[in-house]
Structure 1
Amino acid sequence: MSTSARPASGGWHYKEAPLIDVDTGAETWIARGANFVTAVSIAPAGTTLARADNPDEYMIITDKVGATVVAGGETIEVAPDSLTIVPPGASSVTLAGDGEIVRVFSSRASDLAVRASNAGAYRDHPADVAPLNPWPEPVGGYRLRTYALADHVREGTNMRVFRSTNLMLNVMTPRETPRDTAKLTPHSHTDFEQGSLAIGGVYVHHLRYPWTSDMATWREDEHVEMASPSVLVIPPTVVHTSRNIGDQPGRLIDVFAPPRLDFSLREGVVANADEYPMPKER
């Protein structure tokens, strides 16, 4: 007999109290899935967000401010509206101006995972989520890699997909008007979660939980409205689609861990596929 899907969880950062760094005044909101952790920080210029010994790669998304990133013996200047992959080990990111910065880690960053606002939903690894098995190391080894997001806009799609050994992010192009409700894309995933991280605008996440043979486990459809910043973590098998509403442009980042094989098998979908090989056995 099939079991009922877990309820979605997440972080309503825009109405939650942040974690505050007493030295810099940086405000950070953390949420997690089974295999990933998201951290959204608002900080003044010159703030340094450091990792003493991160166990694996993580990603940084800059918005309206640039940053200086140091890792692996390298120092690079990251422009606004960029995605940067940071190698394992010690690293830091220093904001060039006042603003917001997003970092996405795997759940191996356990010190962050335990501080997530929804950590209680993940006291144990959910049985419905496949384990976090890393993909092969990048071509040329681990190092800082940065990508200007504007260089990866493709005609006919709002997807901008990047992968590392442990994560995949889809940093969608902004939706300047509300999404057409006649062109939604409801779908579900078999054995991995989707984190929908809103960094601009207001979103409604529509969720439909699958029926089981036991009617007592059935759940009503949910239509979860979330402003920015926020993240909703959608469990496997739950049918979902999201739409932005209101006057502000919608800006959404989808988070997956490990990388999605289905996206990776589609020619041209993953922007940095040449740098990050797929597993030989798949």
Structure 2
Amino acid sequence: MYDKSDPRATLAAASKSTASTFAGADFGLFYEMQPQLSKSGERTWLTRGQNFLVAYTDAEAGAVLERVGQVDEYVLLVPDRETPVTVSANGQTETVEGYTLVIVPPGDSSINVEQGGRVVRIFSTASADLCALCSNVESYAEAHPNIPPFQAWPEPVGGYKIRAYSLDVPPEPGRFGRIFRCTTLMVNFLDPQMGPRDTTKLSPHHHDDFEQGSLSLDGSFTHHLRWPWTTDLSVWREDEHALCGSPSLTVIPPPAIHTSRGMDAGLNQLVDIFSPPRMDFSKQPNWVLNAADYPIPNQN
């Protein structure tokens, strides 16, 4: 259910859920947790979903974040303009200004946070070493229901390499946020919300078979969540109205009905994460800003 002004109102409606068991939402409140990694000029918090995980880092000047033998692509998000980074991978080195999304190829890579600041890395859960560190690792001792097995999307045009995309993209009527995808992830750096969200234009909706990560970078959000009723009272879940500050990650499982409401008087900045990429968003003309680099799967 979307307000008519919401670009998502043009999407086909999700089917009525036939799920009979449900997982709860997960919350990584980084601002009130101890970091899972604290070493060499970095403090990193990690929280996961079924198919993706987020590593949020406060880095000191000169900190280097390394991955050795990374099994697949990952996304580096540099949300602040004053945080340039140098990214190296597989013999390629790129100096990247802040306020940029970078896709980092598989293999060995390093990120030099030259002046310090906050950076976010988003991985698939194929990175078992990082999964083991996540604050909510026990929540995924068994696979969550209603999510099919992960399947990566096709390799990028021209092969794997460092690809940097500026987030300095103005809003455009009919386009929803600023969406980028790779073989493993779709990331939507939503248009900034200044002040509280209009409560007459919320967007309660559900997903049949994929989870959503909502990464709060600035401000605070109330995540409203409701699960379907079934014939079995024992699987019913209470509604949640979770107020989460920044930085934090909320993982919304299918088929929970959900909508998020920015709360603060100033900037409320949310980033949505999906793994693998969403086909419905990918089919919308001009929604995925780097679609030319990353083909969609063959649907024949």
Which range, TM-score by smaller chain? over 0.9
Matches within 5 A, 1:149-188: 149-151=167-169, 153-155=171-173, 157=175, 159-188=177-206
Could you tell me how far 1:197 is from its partner in structure 2?
Answer: 0.6
> 2:69 — aligned with what?
53
Q: Identify the residue that residue 8 of structure 1 maps to in structure 2.
A: 25
Do the aligned residues in 2 keep the contact of 1:2 with 1:213 (CA within 8 Å)? no
Counterpart residue identity of residue 133, structure 1:
Q
Aligned counterparts, 1:1-282, within 5 A:
2-24=19-41, 26-64=42-80, 65-151=83-169, 153-155=171-173, 157=175, 159-281=177-299
Quote the sequence identity (%): 43
The aligned length equals: 281
Q: Which runs of 4+ in 1 moved over 3 A?
A: 155-158
The letter for the 2-side match of 1:257 is S
Q: Secondary structure at the residue paired with 1:236?
A: coil
Partner Cα separation in structure 2 for residue 157 and residue 243 of structure 1: 20
Deviation, 1:105, is 0.3
Q: Partners of 2:244 and 2:96 in 1: how far apart?
A: 29
1:6 shift after superposition: 1.1
Mark the runs of 5 or more structure 1 residues left unpaired by the alignment: none
| 2:103 partner SS | strand
How far apart, in 2, do the equivalents of 1:31 and 1:168 lie?
Answer: 17
Relative distance call for 1:50 and 1:152 in structure 2 (3 A) is: farther
TM-score, length-normalised on structure 1? 0.96
- For 1:33, the aligned partner's letter is G
Which stretch of structure 1 is more off in the superposition, 254-263 or 126-135?
126-135
Letter in 2 for 1:54: Q
Q: Deviations over 1:183-203 (max 9, x none)?
A: 111111111110101011111
Which stretch of structure 1 is more off in the superposition, 119-128 or 151-160?
Answer: 151-160
Structure-2 change in CA distance of 1:206 and 1:114 (3 Å): same
In the TM superposition, residue 72 of structure 1 has moved relative to its aligned partner by 2.1
